[in-house]
Structure formats: structure tokens, C-alpha cells
Structure 1
Amino acid sequence: MTGKNGIELLAAFFTLGGDVYPFGPTEISPIPFKDRVEAAAKVGYKGMGLIHADVQATAAQIGLKEMKRIVDDNDIKYLEYEFLSGWYLDGERRAKSDVMRTEMLEVAQRLGVRNLKIAPGLGSDLYAPTEAEMTPDVDRMREAFAGVCRDAAEYGVRVVMEIMPFSNVRTLEVARAIVEGADQPNGGLLIDIWHMARGGIPYKDIEKIPSRFIGSIELDDADADVKGLLWEDTIYHRRLPGEGVLKPKEFIQAVKNAGYEGPWGVEIISETYRKLPLAEQAKRSFETTMAQFK
């Protein structure tokens, strides 16, 4: 169902992925793809998130054609595909990234993916990246981002770069310099409420971004205090919208004021939530998020 106010929600991969988390022992969901899509559709989601490792595993089992049929049969209108890293580096890491880029874009085209999500620099060690890894080369990243966008355009795919407080793109100023500087018609930013709040970025600053550069939005919530390192807080302790202190209604209003009109992503990554039954994950994440638009 689409809300009375025209709101459409997209369940990011980890929201319905089961007991997995980013860069964990595996990012392959223990829940069959068909079950996840049907659970999302049943409660009213109009979009789904995909992740590369899980797509590869699922395609090996049932094929991309069957995946597309499942998506279409359940009226899932929007797909987002994550997470391309290393796209601005050089050497062996860039070579691996380029291979993955081609693989992801070919899959994205066949499945009808809306957005390819790309990562900022997260460092070789997520728990203690070096200062050099956290210092952005904006000119280099701007040029590389434009290159990803040009490649993606050939496949009919948009590209969105996420802002993260534990990365080398942790401010709106740097993010905008890269994406707006690249000035690609299919390039934009992915803005997640958790990363804005934990990064100390006022929601009102979102209103300064030209709407065409806001490519994707993600909603969730968090406790007042960070538990452990920021990285640990984001993969273990997120809350459902409205069950924390991040004030998602204020965030939503700022995004609306900026002119965003696309689907709204829901990304819940929590060590307790991900162990719930799939139907409960779907129902609770959908209903708590829709309540923020009232």
C-alpha cells in the first residue's frame, strides 16, 4: 500500500535481511529471496534493497530472470543495490572495484535497479582507519564519481554516494563538492538520518542541497548515547523510527523542504531486531516508519 499522502517506502537490504550485518562473516541472507520480497510487499513496501554478495548467491540458485519475476509479481517498483567501494582508488584495489562495478551494473540493468549505492572511503580498518585514509582527495573523488556515473548511465542506472561520519566523506561540504562538482544527471547523494545525526550535521542543512542531487533517503533511529565506537553503534544498535531520539519527523520535513519526491528507504541494523521473525521485521519497520509521516 502507498500511504494516503503518497509516501512509498523501500526496505533496505539489512532491514529484512535476517541475521546478517555490514562486513560481517557473511552478507548473504539466511532468508530466501522470495520470502523477503513477499514479506515486504505484504505490509506495503514498494521498494527493496539488494547487496552484491546476496544477489550473487541468489542468482546462482534461481537466476536473475526468476528474481526479476518475483520482484514484478509483488509490485516492487524500486530496487537499490549496494555497495561499491574503492571506485576512486588506484592499483589492485581499483582493479577489483572496476570488476565489481561492471558486475553490479550488468545485474542492475537486468533487474531494473533504480540506484547503485557507492561507499565513501571507510579505511582499510573500519575500527581504526589511518588519518590519511580519512582525508578526502576531493578533486580525485569528484573525477572518479563522474566516471562511475557515466558508466552507470550506459545501463540506465543512477549513482548515489553515502555520507558517513566514520568515513572520508563525513560532512555535507565535502559530499556536495564531490557530487555537485561532478555535475552528472544521474549522480546524487544518499542521506541517512543516522549518519546526519551522529555526524553532527543539522537537518536544516539538507535544505541547501539542490533537489536533483538528493538521490536517496534512509530512515531509522538511535539512542541518545553512542554505544562503543560509531561503527559498532551503527551495525548493532539502530532503532526503529520513533523509538529513539533522532527526531525523524524533523528530518523528513527538512528533506521535503529540499524538494525530494522519491521513495523513502528504511534501514534498520540492530543485533536484536535482525533476529526477529521476518514477518515481524517487515510489519514493525513499515508501520513505525509510516507513523513518522503523520
Structure 2
Amino acid sequence: MTRQFSLAFLTVADLAPAEAIRVAAETGYTSVGLRLLPAAASGEGPYPILTDKAVLADAQAALAETGISVGDVEIVRLKPETRPGDFKPFLECAQALGASKILVAGDDTDHSRLTQTFAAFAELAAGYGLTSDLEFMPWTGVRNAAQALAIVEAAGQPSGGVLADALHWDRTGRDPDDLKRIAHERIHYFQICDAPAEYDPSDAGLIAIARGGRLLPGEGGIDLHSFVRALPDDVPVSVEIASADLMRRLTPRERAVQALAAARHVIETL
């Protein structure tokens, strides 16, 4: 089976959406990830593609020109005060881009309330043809795979999924069984990268690596073979290499090429 690879937003975060789409197509990816809303709760506003019709039109033109698709859009953060209906502009933009998946983060430690919010959001998003994929991250309200799975299952929405990122899996116990417990239909894609074996386990340290200290697959200490083997072999692989070092040294195209080659090598040597 031929793997499908998606160029994650963070690998080429310095590119405008239309440019990222073209680079993804030119370097061998079948899809691209785009960010519509910020990852950090810092008061940062929406990305231009969500508010500027010209940016959206440029992205749509690039998609039509290249023939690739938008895999996932990010990032929906579910907080205690979240009202799912407030995300309708996000969902309309995602639908206009032909996206299929939404990266969702859980910023609520009250899992009963978060489950209700996730269920309502996933139901709403499904009406736009989108899955809602809850990513566990050790500094958020959904710290590990078990918590993400429990919330998604309790929410009871067919379109709900669990998103596994190799980095977060490694930092939360690196047990393949945590991933094997997730039903196939709950995994719509996963994210691959590598990272240093030694790291600062504080929230600040974890966030620093996640947002700018990742490594190309095969260059760090994550057991990527065990990670990939524990996941379905017929879902897209999002290649997410957020690296300040690579961003300084390489062009976006060079980053995309090296990231894809490294990810393919890991999977081809399973």
C-alpha cells in the first residue's frame, strides 16, 4: 500500500497558504495542512486565510492548479467557555478549502464538560464534511492517548478521532499499546517527527521542543518504528517538523524535501 504524506503547517510555517500548497505538490506530498487559528492562547488573532478573501482565493487557485488537497486545518482549542457555534466561520473556510480533518486541542481539565463540548463541536463539524481529531499534548487538558480516547469514545460522534503525534506519544510514556487500544476508525491520520532523547520535562520545555525544537525523523531518540507499527497503515501521515534550526538553515522547499525523505525512510525500513 502506498502511504500518503501531508506537509504539515509547522514544517513550512513561513509560507503563505498558496505557497505551501505549491511546495507540497512540487515535492511529492499528496496533501497539505493549513493553520486558520493560532495555536497559543496569547490573544493572537485568526490567520489571514480566515479573514482575507483574497488569501483564500489564492489558496483555492493553488489547489486547483496542483491537484493536491488540504488534509487537516488547525487549530480548534476547546476551552471551558467554548461555544462550538463560534467556530462556524472556521468551518466554512475549511469547507471552502476542501479540507477533511480538524486538529482539535482540549484546554479544559474538566473532562465531563470537555466531552460535551467536543461532542457538540464534532457534530457541527461533521455537517461540513470534517472529522474532529483530538490531539493529546502533555501540557493541555488532554495529556495522553488514554484521556483522548476516553473523551472521544464518550462523546459518541462517528466523526470524532484521536490524533497521535510521535513527539507527544514519546513524552507521555511511549507505550505502543496506548495506540493499539484506539479503534482503527478513530484514527484518521497521525503526525511524525523526531526529537532529542534528553529534554526538559516542564511544560515550558515540552512546548519549546514542540513548537521549534523538533528533528527530522530518524535524527532523534523517538522509537518511530514502534510508533508507526502501532497505527493503521492506510491513513495519511502528516510530516510535522517545527524546527527553528532548519528554518534558519534551509529554504521551505528544502525543508519539505528533507522531511518527506526522512519520513519515508522510517516507514520503508519498518
The TM-score with structure 1 as length reference comes to 0.81
CA RMSD of aligned residues (A): 2.0
Corresponding residue number in structure 1 for 2:142: 169
Note closer, same or farther for the CA distance 1:177–1:32 as it changes in structure 2 (3 Å cut): closer
Residues 190-247 of structure 1, C-alpha deviations (whole Å, 9 max, x = no match)? 1100000011141232111111111220000011111571111222211000111102
The correspondence for 1:50, drawn from 34, 38, 45, is 34
- How many percent identity over aligned positions? 27
Residues 77-126 of structure 1, C-alpha deviations (whole Å, 9 max, x = no match)? 342111111x3412xxx35x742x111101011111111111121xxxxx
Secondary structure, aligned partner of 2:26: helix
Note closer, same or farther for the CA distance 1:279–1:183 as it changes in structure 2 (3 Å cut): same
Q: What is the total number of aligned residue pairs between the two structures?
A: 256
The correspondence for 1:119, drawn from 105, 111, 114, is 105
Residues 136-181 of structure 1, C-alpha deviations (whole Å, 9 max, x = no match)? 2222111111100111111111111100011121122221110011
Corresponding residue number in structure 2 for 1:103: 89
Secondary structure, aligned partner of 2:96: helix
Counterpart residue type for residue 143 of structure 2: R
Corresponding residue number in structure 2 for 1:290: 264
Secondary structure, aligned partner of 2:230: helix
Corresponding residue number in structure 2 for 1:280: 254
Measure the CA separation in 2 of the matches of 1:233 and 1:56.
23
Task: Please list, as runs of the form range in 1=range in 2, the aligned pairs for 1:126-205 lying within 5 A after superposition.
Answer: 136-205=109-178
Query: Retained in 1: the 8 A contact 2:70–2:97?
Result: no
Query: Retained in 2: the 8 A contact 1:88–1:140?
Result: no
Q: Is the deviation greater in 109-118 or in 66-75? A: 66-75
Task: Extract structure 1 runs of 4+ deviating beyond 6 A.
Answer: none
Query: Retained in 2: the 8 A contact 1:120–1:161?
Result: yes
The TM-score with structure 2 as length reference comes to 0.88
Please list every run of 5 or more consecutive structure 2 residues that lacks an aligned counterpart in the other structure: 39-45
Please list every run of 5 or more consecutive structure 1 residues that lacks an aligned counterpart in the other structure: 19-30, 122-132
Secondary structure, aligned partner of 1:223: coil
Corresponding residue number in structure 2 for 1:263: 236
